[in-house]
């Protein structure tokens, strides 16, 4: 199979070039020879520089291959003369660049830093003179049949050409993104830590921890308010109820949080004259103070008063433990609201 799995459901969108399938195992020598030859058909491009250096049949020789569908590999440039009697002597060569279709290539100019002398001991009539062991990739423009190449030099023999690096274009101003709200959401860990701080209940308390683990994936994961869903509010409410339940059920914790509040009294008497003993600690701890933008305490107190009135409408017929339940409800209503969630 080539370009897919045997199941046929994993098609590959690339290209296969010069694929070879053998009907026998290759010898180590054959493998080494194929590896040395590399992939792709190679051409030897000769760029004549005879008139520039004053030496007959002198060329810059490149080994070039089509690297892929979009580029060429130029490799191991050499200076060579096809006249075996030529002996170059100390001709300078510097800043060689590759051009394509009438302009110098924008990228891939690894030979622009060359600064050497042609001839001497580095030159041999048979092999010429290796100018660089490096290769470079030049992007194709018109394809193999249409691309034409040339070389330019900052200095070659007695000739020089001053090359000025083009000034890079100034980047355009960044595009304005989508308007972002100055209001954000607390994320799941921030919600858990905030509720622990506002109630004084440890986040490692067993019931609280179990509830958080259960609803964690349902809590907001990003701060963008535009992603808020009703499912997020359900999870926030569940966690708020558990924190407030742990607060009120802990005798020592609730006594320090709501000092003087008669939890053992009937709702009718507990919330008739001592309601402020419940509301004041909740509002002072959870609303905060001194913020540039915060809920109005009077509005929050009015909402909680209405909730308390509805929950104590049963009067003398309220079931046992109703007082603690009403405190939990007021705590959860404030703790699970935008007062805690927005930032």
Same domain (yes/no): 140, 256 = no
Helix and strand element counts for the chain (H, E)? 11, 10
In a domain, 13, yes or no: no
pTM (predicted TM-score): 0.51
**What is residue 175's predicted lDDT score, i.e. its pLDDT?**
87
Same domain (yes/no): 252, 148 = no
In a domain, 32, yes or no: no
The residue that leads in pLDDT, 165 or 55, is 55
**What is residue 206's predicted lDDT score, i.e. its pLDDT?**
94
In a domain, 24, yes or no: no
**What is residue 34's predicted lDDT score, i.e. its pLDDT?**
85
Instruction: Please say if the pLDDT value at position 120 is more than 80.
Output: yes
Q: In which band, very low, low, confident or very high, does the pLDDT at 136 lie, cut at 50, 70 and 90?
A: very high
Same domain (yes/no): 221, 80 = no
In a domain, 268, yes or no: yes
Residues 283-335: tens digit of each pLDDT = 999 987 777 777 888 899 999 999 999 998 887 788 888 999 999 999 999 99
**What is residue 327's predicted lDDT score, i.e. its pLDDT?**
94
In a domain, 5, yes or no: no
Rounded Cα distance, 94 and 89, in Å: 15
Same domain (yes/no): 153, 198 = no
Same domain (yes/no): 154, 199 = no
In a domain, 272, yes or no: yes
Instruction: Please say if the pLDDT value at position 115 is more than 80.
Output: yes
Same domain (yes/no): 333, 203 = yes
Same domain (yes/no): 45, 132 = yes
Query: 137: helix, coil or strand?
Result: strand
For the chain, the distance separating the N- and C-terminal CA atoms, rounded to the nearest angstrom, is 57
Same domain (yes/no): 155, 256 = no
Rounded Cα distance, 296 and 158, in Å: 86
**What is residue 45's predicted lDDT score, i.e. its pLDDT?**
93
Same domain (yes/no): 215, 143 = no
Same domain (yes/no): 282, 334 = yes
Number of domains in the chain: 2
In a domain, 169, yes or no: no
**What is residue 152's predicted lDDT score, i.e. its pLDDT?**
94
Domain that holds residue 268: 188-341
The stretch 48-68 carries a mean pLDDT of: 91
**What is residue 343's predicted lDDT score, i.e. its pLDDT?**
83
- Which of 141, 160, 179 finishes a domain? 160
Same domain (yes/no): 323, 231 = yes
* Structural contact between residues 300 and 163, judged by C-beta atoms closer than 8 angstroms: no
Task: Please give the share of the chain, as a percent, with pLDDT higher than 70.
Answer: 99
* Structural contact between residues 189 and 138, judged by C-beta atoms closer than 8 angstroms: no
**What is residue 268's predicted lDDT score, i.e. its pLDDT?**
85
In a domain, 2, yes or no: no
Same domain (yes/no): 206, 79 = no
């Amino acid at each position: 199979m080539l370009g897919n799995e045997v199941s046929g459901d994993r098609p590959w969108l690339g290209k296969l070039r010069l694929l070879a399938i053998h009907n026998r195992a290759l010898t180590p020598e054959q493998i080494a020879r194929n590896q040395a030859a590399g992939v792709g058909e190679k051409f030897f491009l000769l760029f004549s520089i005879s008139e520039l250096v004053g030496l007959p049949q002198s060329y810059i020789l490149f080994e070039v291959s089509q690297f892929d569908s979009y580029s060429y590999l130029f490799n191991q440039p050499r200076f060579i003369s096809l006249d075996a009697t030529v002996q170059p002597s100390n001709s300078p060569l510097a800043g060689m660049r590759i051009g394509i279709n009438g302009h110098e290539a924008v990228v891939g100019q690894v030979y622009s830093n060359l600064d050497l002398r042609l001839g001497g001991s580095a030159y041999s009539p048979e092999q010429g003179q290796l100018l660089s062991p490096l290769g470079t990739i030049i992007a194709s423009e018109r394809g193999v049949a249409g691309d034409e190449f040339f070389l330019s030099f900052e200095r070659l023999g007695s000739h020089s050409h001053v090359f000025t690096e083009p000034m890079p274009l100034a980047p355009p101003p960044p595009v304005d993104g989508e308007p972002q709200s100055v209001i954000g959401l607390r994320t799941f860990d921030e919600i858990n830590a905030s509720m622990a701080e506002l109630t004084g209940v440890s986040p490692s308390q067993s019931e609280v921890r179990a509830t958080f683990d259960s609803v964690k994936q349902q809590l907001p994961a990003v701060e963008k308010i535009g992603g808020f869903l009703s499912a997020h509010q359900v999870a926030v409410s569940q966690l708020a109820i558990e924190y407030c339940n742990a607060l009120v059920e802990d005798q020592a914790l609730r006594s320090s949080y709501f000092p003087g509040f008669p939890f053992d009294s009937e709702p009718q008497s507990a919330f008739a004259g001592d309601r402020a003993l419940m509301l004041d600690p909740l509002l002072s701890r959870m609303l905060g103070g001194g913020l540039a933008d915060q809920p109005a305490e009077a509005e929050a107190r009015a909402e909680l008063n209405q909730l308390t009135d509805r929950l104590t409408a049963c009067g003398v017929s309220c079931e046992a433990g109703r007082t603690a339940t009403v405190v939990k409800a007021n705590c959860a209503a404030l703790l699970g609201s935008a007062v805690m969630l927005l930032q």
